[in-house]
Structure 1
Amino acid sequence: MAVGPESATARPDDTAAGPGDEQLNRVFLTRVLEPGDETGGRWVRELGADAVVRRLRDRGEPLPGASAKRWAGLLARAAHAQPHRDLATAHDAGVRFVLPDTTEWPRQLDDLGDARPLGLWVRGTPDLRMWALRSVAVVGARACTAYGAHMATTLSAGLAERGWIVVSGGAYGVDGAAHRGALASGGATIAVLAGGVDRPYPRGHAGLIARIAEQGLVIGELPPGDHPTPHRFILRNRVIAALTRGTVVVEAAHRSGSLATARAARRLGRHTMGVPGPATSGLSAGVHALLRQDAVLVTDAAEVVELVGDMGDLAPEHKGPVLPRDLLDPAARHVLAALPAHRDAEPQEIARAAQTTPDDAIARLYELRALGYVERHGDGWKLTRQAMISVRDGHTAR
């Protein structure tokens, strides 16, 4: 259930939610509890949002598991929570609040248990649940290399062309390249922000995030106007991992925050994938560590879809170039390989090297002569220039 214009109008008493109003109660709690707060999530699950809000509003006894210090901090936040005003601000910005267990709620987020978001602020017109059903996360380093940006762009464009939704965090580097790749191919993308969706962060991506909101979705857990902090970026990553069928890490150093998304995906039973980079690149070291564990190596969109898609979505087999000698009969290839590289040889010598009879060797040699691979010199046979090139190219391909 999403908040509409009627419910977004501010009221005179704007300090707290009313009893029994699930929307307002959860909006109130987004101002009080940090994203991913499992203790707070347990309170909501066991007592209900209404009871938790009343305890905070009435400044009653601490809830189970809350120390006196923490309870004082929660009460201080609760004193400044204004859910009606948040909803009015969201409405003016074209933002709706989607509640758990409603039509638009992506059910896969329930896998987060008590760390499940209290709700999601959503900017954009598409249905979040429907889009999330066929989505893949593409994440990686903010300070990515040109290679990382290229791989994120082409991989995301390929996913979008195949009808998949690309999900990322809206940050500089790989995130931005992933969003742009999806948009450039006319596809769809979702940006999951670590702050209020009405205030794009980073500011340098304000135009990109506005474009995503026009063509796709911008979502987040924090109420309007709230700002991201370092730990909120890490907590945001669990939403990216839970929302999607799998996570692809393009570039990541050993301490990259994008690895937290991969680890969350692994814990949730989602597919974890990595794009390899140069062994000497520190920005690929984290990805390579993932690949040494249980992540799957991918190099293009087809390989990602083979992993996360439906049965039968197989990536084409990657092969080297087909050489003319590959089309020869196996017996003829053995005879061709038996000829010395720089001199002629008699049929008996060739037959021994090819492990066949002299008569069979002679028959194959005449076939090869007709195809331009060998030529006769008296009683001997020698490779032609064409054959020499073919043999050389065959060794290069291997």
Structure 2
Amino acid sequence: MTTVTLDDIRAAAERIKDFVDRTPCRYSRKLSQRTGAEVWVKFENAHFTSSFKERGARNKLMQLSPAEKKRGVIAASAGNHAQALAYHGQQLGVPVTIVMPHGTPFVKIEKTRAYGANVVIEGADFTEATNHVMKLRDEHDYVFVSAFDDLQILTGQGTCGLEMLEDAPDLDAVIVPIGGGGLIAGIASAVKALKPGIKVYGVEAAMYPSFVARRKGEKPKCGGQTIAEGIAIKAVGEIPFAVADPLIDEVLVVDEADFERAVAMYANVEKTVAEGAGAGGLAALLRYPAKFKGQKVGLVLAGGNIDARMLSTVLYRDMVRQGRMVTYRIVGDDRPGVLAGMSTVIGKLGGNILDVIHNRLSLEVPAKGAEYDIVVETRDEQHADEIRQALKESGYVLTNA
């Protein structure tokens, strides 16, 4: 049976303490009010490379032999493991090569290169990128460093669990994102050793439920573009599964909309940036609030490396979801003054027009007419309905009413 002891994790904590930031774990009054749980957030996005991966990367690299350090290391990564390995490899003088799959966010690629790593883009997904890693490893005699399927990596990640219970010893449960399983294996090993009664919940994206499938003895059905690309892993690691499976109380599967809501809530409520995978704990809490109501819950905000364009899209979509950004589609005459009239109605009620699109080629409107898509920022759904009703009362025909 593969296990990680509390002494192993404490030794890792001592080894990396002068080189990896001790991130804060804070009580969030605002998230607690919104979810019904007493929420503590472990801000792993506060690391220098903005994710928890630094813990395992530093622990692993510091235990390489001088000969292995000279040969250099290679890894497959969607970004966070890559940045952590590149940064700490640079600090230790270890050459680092990273293979990233196509579709990896540009921010992660550029940051990895900025830390001195040789970045190779290959493969449609993590599995194909890993296959290319093995080819390069054999050709150049690199040392392969798995993002999760490695005892020294997951032992380093376990230091996150030690810190959580130091700051919030009364936690009833922790919720941890699962990709390859290294983070939850390390944290579960730490917190269960310190507090056997604590509950450990994993979170997987509905598109990549590899841990859930493995538990059921089924072949995982994985695929698709998820905002949680950091945990888009088709097969959980052998070592993390062996360590974590006996310790995890339940794995929760969440949908894309849940991840989006969580990313937006971290930005709007906590004023902090979370990537999709990093927001997995909050996504699960938002989807299953009754399961955690009244409990002291620790969320691991695992990383904040989200592409700026994607963050912008998520925030705008959240406004649409809340009824704070509405598109009114109006069919009217194509003549001077029509748009001004619509704008007057909207403006009098305090709506802020963000965009206007004229469509004169739609065959569903008369040749002398036009279709107007007016994008309006509103206070809430009630305000949006007031504007909609006022437009109707002013004689405008809304086709999406």
Short-chain TM bin: under 0.3
> Higher strand share goes to which structure?
2
Higher-RCO chain (CA-CA 8 Å, sequence separation at least 6):
2
Scaled by the length of structure 2, what TM-score is found?
A: 0.27
| Structure number, greater radius of gyration | 1
